[in-house]
Amino acid sequence: MSIADRSAIEATIQTYFDGLYEGDADKLGSIFHEASALTWEQDGKIMVMSRDAWLQVVRDRPSSKSKDLARDDAILMIDQSGPTTAFVKVKCQIPPRYFTDYLNLIKAEGRWQIVQKVYAFEVRG
C-alpha cells in the first residue's frame, strides 16, 4: 500500500468518524458512494438500508456531540487488496451502542469512497 493511498483511506475514515459524532449527514454523504448501502443482522434476518435512507436517520437523530456523549473511535485494520480496493475495520460508539464496522472502499475518479458498510453492535449498560 502506498503512503498516499494509506493517508487518503485514513482521511476518508476520519471524515466518517467526525460525521458520525457530529451527526453531519452531508459530511457522511461526501464519503459514501450514492449506490452504497448498510447491512446488518437483526433478529436472525439480514437488513439492508440505502445510503440516503441512513443519511435521513442521521439528520433526524440528535448527534453524539450535541448530547456530549463520549467519543471512542479507531481504525482497527486496513487491508488494501489492490490499487482501487480496500477493507477497513473500525470501532465507534453511540452510547449505549458500541459498533464494529466493516467498510469496503473503492478508489474511483481519484478518491476513496465507502461502497458498503456491514456492521454489528452491542448494547451496554
pLDDT of residue 125: 82
% of the chain beyond a pLDDT of 70: 100
Angle at 27 between CA 29 and CA 32, to 5 degrees: 30
Number of H helices, E strands in the chain: 3, 6
pLDDT band at residue 1 under the 50/70/90 scheme = confident
| Average pLDDT, rounded, for the chain | 96
Domains of the chain: 3-123 (3.10.450.50)
**pLDDT tens digits, one per residue of 62-117:** 999 999 999 999 999 999 999 999 999 999 999 999 999 999 999 999 999 999 99
pLDDT of residue 47: 98
pTM, entire model: 0.95
pLDDT at residue 41 is higher than 80: yes
